[in-house]
Amino acid sequence: MNLSTISAQVAQAVEEGLFKEQKTLPSWLFYDNQGDRIFQEIMGMPEYYLTGCEYEILQMNAAAILKRFQQQGAFQLIELGAGDGLKTEILLKHFTQQQADFTYHPIDISAAVLTQLQDRLSTSLPNLPFFPQQGDYDKALEKLNLSSNKRKVILFLGSNIGNFSATEAGAFLLRIKKSMHANDLLFVGIDLKKDPRMIQRAYDDSQGITKSFNINLLARLNRELGANFMLDQFSHYPTYNPETGEAKSYLVSLRQQDVYFEALQKTVRFKRWEHIHTEVSIKYDQQMIEQLAKVSGLTIEHQYYDCKHYFSDLVLMK
């Protein structure tokens, strides 16, 4: 994808999200170069427990996970939204040490982050057969559709699935299921319900890193669409609802204001206290997990947990 198609997608997201009653922006917009960098900072924050929990799961279970993945012999490891692959590297290291017969196919929306991944892996695991690809989840599904005599193992880590509403998540897994062949596996990281205060803090850290992540979305629109958002006239407002498991983030307009988009030659008007919904991160309980498997027609083969049961990685089969 070249730059101009990316800007066209950004423009379309604005056209669809900001000219309606309840303003929204899609969360993939977070991940430009600046956003990738801030997200890496988020993963290192003490409040953002998700990273450490999944790291522990992968670390403690690498051998068992490999055993499952290579039941049928050689396999292709396809990772959706690989990011900088820091967590995946735990598995990749173990798998290569064990001389497992596999190839690694990371896919990410951000080309910059894939370059970082490539740079790191070519030094840390020079013998790993590695085929990065820039693209969205649809690109990944195309890849899955390709027939191969090797088992495909799809990794969808880090609670990325949380960015889908419950209905969307089911629909997305159903699409994956339809692209899977009989012996393929799906390995999905899911953040679990826990103390609401702890979840709240993970999206409202004391240093304001998550705030800058959310505000960067407006800065990106300034950069890419020539908009004139005044960044200090919007506040970061994260919420968590223990009833639905939804952690939602908003940007709230601190006053009535007009924002002009040069590239669209259009103005968006904000009322005082009007919000833009920018992200949902769903936290699941066991019942929701089972429901998710059910609607997507997948069977839960196994579930791994960290020692505190804050996070779970699921092994799913068709």
Identity of the residue, 132 or 162, whose beta carbon is nearer to ligand AVJ in the bound complex? 162
Identity of the residue, 144 or 280, whose beta carbon is nearer to ligand AVJ in the bound complex? 280
Residues 6+ apart with CB under 8 A from 89: 120, 121, 124, 125
Q: Which residues bind ligand AVJ (CB under 6 A)?
A: 42, 50, 158-160, 162-163, 203, 210, 213, 279, 281
Identity of the residue, 159 or 312, whose beta carbon is nearer to ligand AVJ in the bound complex? 159
CB of 240 to ligand AVJ, least distance (A): 11
Identity of the residue, 76 or 216, whose beta carbon is nearer to ligand AVJ in the bound complex? 216
Identity of the residue, 82 or 221, whose beta carbon is nearer to ligand AVJ in the bound complex? 82
Residue nearest ligand AVJ by beta-carbon distance: 281
CB of 213 to ligand AVJ, least distance (A): 6
CB of 225 to ligand AVJ, least distance (A): 22
Q: What are phi and psi of 56, to 5 degrees?
A: -60, -45
Identity of the residue, 23 or 87, whose beta carbon is nearer to ligand AVJ in the bound complex? 87
Identity of the residue, 34 or 163, whose beta carbon is nearer to ligand AVJ in the bound complex? 163
CB of 66 to ligand AVJ, least distance (A): 24
The rounded distance, in Å, linking the Cα atoms of 195 and 295 is 27
CB of 159 to ligand AVJ, least distance (A): 4
CB of 99 to ligand AVJ, least distance (A): 32
From residue 288, how far is each of 154, 202, 217, 246 by CA, in Å?
Answer: 21, 21, 30, 12
CB of 39 to ligand AVJ, least distance (A): 6
